[in-house]
C-alpha cells in the first residue's frame, strides 16, 4: 500500500484545444443539433475520449477509402484540411462538405499552391518540413499535385536536388527549434542556389512552448495528457521531458500507475492542443481520489 505525500495538483492554464479544433467541434455539434448523424473524414481530433464523446452524439469517423465510395451525403472536414481531390470527388458525387479546415491551414494551403504555380517556370523544388503521412501534410502536398518533398529531419535533406531553387514551408504544428536547425543545415548545403524558408508554424502551438517549459519545471511529476496520434502532443511532451525528466505521457486514466507517486509532493497536469480541458480535469479529480484513498 502506497502512502501518498501529494499536496499540490495543478492544471496548466495554457493547455487545451487550440481555436482551430474548438471551431471544428463547434461546427460538428452545431450540425448534430439539427441532425442526429454526421460523417467526419478522419478523427475530428487526435484524442480518443473526445472522438468517443462526439460519436455518442452521432459523429461517425470515416476513412478516406470509405469517403471515395460515398455519394449523396454530408461530410465534415476537420481542422487539418484536405487535398483538392477530396473537394473534386465531393462535387462530382453530390457530397455536401462542412469545411472546418482551420483558417491558418487554409492560408498555408493557398500559399503553397501559389508557390507551386509560380515555381514551375524555374523548376523550383517545394519542400515541406513535416510528418510524412500526417493529414495536414497530405493536404499541403496535394496543393502541388503530389510533387512537394516532405522532410522530417536533417537526414531527409539528402533527397533534395541542390542544383534547383528551393522553397521550404513547415507543417503548422512543428517546433520552431527543429525548423531553425533544418534551415541552418539547408543553407549550408545549398549555398549555390536560391533558398526561401517560410516559417509557417502556428503560434497557437509555438507560443505554448515557453509556457509549458515554465510550468513543467515547477513540479515533482508531470502528467502529460494527449492522444498517441497527436504530433503536437509528441512534440510538447518531448519539451516537458527535457525540462522535467519525471514526465509521464498518458492518454487515459487507466494508464496512471500508483508507483509513480512515491515521495511525490506536487503534480502538474498539462496536454496538447488536441487535449480537451475536461480530460485534464478528470485526471486531477482522479488524483484527488487516489490521495484520499477512494481509489487504491
Ligand atoms: S494548431 Fe494552429 S493551425 Fe493547427 S488547427 Fe490549431 S489553430 Fe489551426
Asked whether residue 2 is assigned to any structural domain, the reply reads: no
| Domain annotation covers residue 1 | no
Is pLDDT above 70 for 22?
yes
Domain count for the chain, please give it. 3
Is 162 in the same domain as 121? yes
Please tell me whether residues 244 and 196 are part of one structural domain: no
134 C-alpha to center of ligand 1: Å? 14
- 195 and 117 belong to one structural domain: yes
Q: Is residue 63 part of a domain?
A: yes
> What is the sign of the dihedral through the CA atoms of 39, 44, 48 and 53?
negative
**pLDDT > 90: percent of the chain:** 80
Looking at the structure, do residues 219 and 275 belong to the same domain, yes or no? yes
Of 94, 101, 99, 145, give the one whose Cα is nearest residue 119. 145
Average pLDDT in the chain: 93
Q: Which domain holds residue 162?
A: 104-201
C-alpha of residue 178 to centroid of ligand 1, in Å: 18
Taking phi over 0 as left and psi of -120 to 50 as alpha, with beta for the rest, 280 belongs to alpha
Contacts (Cβ under 8 Å, ≥6 apart) of 253: 282, 283, 286
Q: Is residue 183 part of a domain?
A: yes
Collect all residues with Cβ–Cβ distance below 8 Å to 275 and sequence separation of at least 6: 15, 16, 17, 47, 225, 226, 227, 230, 233
For residue 235, give the H/E element and its range: helix 231-243
Residue ending a domain, choose from 201, 217, 239: 201
Same structural domain, 123 and 172: yes
Select from 106, 75, 110 the least CA-distant residue to 90: 75
Residue 108 shares a structural domain with residue 197 = yes
Q: Is the CB of 18 under 6 A from ligand 1?
A: yes
Q: For ligand 1, atom 2, name the residue with the nearest CA.
A: 202
Contact 140, 169 (CB under 8 A): yes
Are 159 and 213 in a shared domain?
A: no
Q: Count CA atoms closer than 13 A to 294's CA, side-chain side.
A: 6
Q: Would you place residue 126 in the very low, low, confident or very high pLDDT band (cuts 50, 70, 90)? A: very high
Least confident range of 87-91, 136-140, 192-196, 198-202: 192-196
- Nearest atom (ligand 1) to Cα of 21: 5
Distance (Å, rounded) from C-alpha 75 to C-alpha 250?
31
86: CATH = 3.40.50.11270
- State whether residue 278 is helix, strand or coil: helix
Q: Which atom of ligand 1 is nearest to the CA of 202?
A: 2
pLDDT at position 17 over 80: yes
Of 122, 33, 29, 37, nearest to 75 by C-alpha is: 37
Verify that 226 and 193 share a domain, yes or no.
Answer: no
At 153, is the pLDDT very low, low, confident or very high (cuts 50, 70, 90)?
very high
pLDDT of residue 205: 81
- Domain end residue (candidates: 73, 101, 129): 101
Backbone angles phi, psi at 77, to 5 degrees: -100, 125
Active-site amino acid positions:
136
pLDDT at 295 over 80: no
Q: Tens digit of pLDDT for each residue in 168-203?
A: 999 998 888 899 999 999 999 887 889 999 999 999
Q: What is the pLDDT of residues 24-80, one digit of tens each?
A: 999 999 999 999 999 999 999 988 889 999 999 999 999 999 999 999 999 999 999
The CATH number of residue 225's host domain is 3.40.1010.20
* Average pLDDT for 268-289: 93
* pTM exceeds 0.95: no
User: Residues 15, 274: contact at Cβ < 8 Å?
Assistant: no
The residue whose C-alpha atom lies closest to atom 8 belonging to ligand 1 is 20
Task: Decide whether any atom of ligand 1 lies within 6 Å of the 19 Cβ.
Answer: yes
34 domain-assigned: yes
Measuring from atom 5 of ligand 1, which residue has the nearest CA? 20
Q: What is the DSSP letter of 102?
A: -
**What average pLDDT does range 91-109 have in this prediction?**
98
The pLDDT-based confidence of 1 (bands split at 50, 70, 90) is: low
Residues 280 and 230 in one domain: yes
Q: Which of 201, 231, 255 is the last residue of a domain?
A: 201
Amino acid at each position: 500500500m502506497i502512502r501518498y505525500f501529494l499536496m499540490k495538483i495543478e492544471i496548466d492554464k495554457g493547455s487545451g484545444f487550440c481555436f482551430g479544433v474548438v471551431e471544428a467541434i463547434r461546427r460538428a455539434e452545431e450540425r448534430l443539433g439539427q441532425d442526429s448523424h454526421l460523417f467526419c473524414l478522419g478523427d475530428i481530433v487526435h484524442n480518443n475520449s473526445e472522438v468517443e464523446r462526439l460519436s455518442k452524439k452521432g459523429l461517425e469517423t470515416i476513412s478516406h477509402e470509405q469517403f471515395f465510395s460515398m455519394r449523396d451525403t454530408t461530410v465534415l472536414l476537420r481542422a487539418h484540411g484536405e487535398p483538392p481531390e477530396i473537394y473534386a470527388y465531393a462535387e462530382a458525387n453530390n457530397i455536401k462538405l462542412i469545411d472546418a479546415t482551420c483558417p491558418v491551414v487554409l492560408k498555408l494551403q493557398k500559399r503553397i499552391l501559389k508557390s507551386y504555380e509560380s515555381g514551375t517556370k524555374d523548376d523550383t523544388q517545394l519542400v515541406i518540413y513535416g510528418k510524412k503521412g500526417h493529414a495536414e501534410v497530405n493536404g499541403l502536398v496535394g496543393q502541388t499535385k503530389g510533387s512537394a518533398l516532405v522532410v522530417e529531419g536533417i537526414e531527409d535533406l539528402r533527397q533534395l536536388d541542390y542544383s534547383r531553387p528551393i522553397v521550404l514551408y513547415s507543417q503548422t504544428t512543428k517546433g520552431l527549434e527543429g525548423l531553425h536547425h533544418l534551415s541552418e543545415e539547408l543553407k549550408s548545403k545549398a549555398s549555390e542556389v536560391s533558398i526561401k524558408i517560410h516559417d509557417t508554424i502556428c503560434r497557437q502551438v509555438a507560443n505554448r512552448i515557453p509556457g509549458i517549459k515554465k510550468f513543467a519545471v515547477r513540479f515533482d511529476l508531470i502528467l502529460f495528457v494527449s492522444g498517441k496520434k497527436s504530433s503536437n502532443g509528441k512534440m510538447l511532451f518531448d519539451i516537458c521531458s527535457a525540462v522535467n525528466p519525471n514526465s509521464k505521457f498518458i492518454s487515459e486514466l487507466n494508464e496512471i500507475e500508483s508507483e509513480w507517486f512515491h515521495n511525490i509532493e506536487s503534480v502538474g497536469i498539462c496536454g496538447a492542443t488536441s487535449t480537451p480541458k475536461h480530460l485534464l480535469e478528470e485526471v486531477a479529480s482522479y488524483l484527488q481520489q487516489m490521495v484520499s484513498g477512494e481509489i487504491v
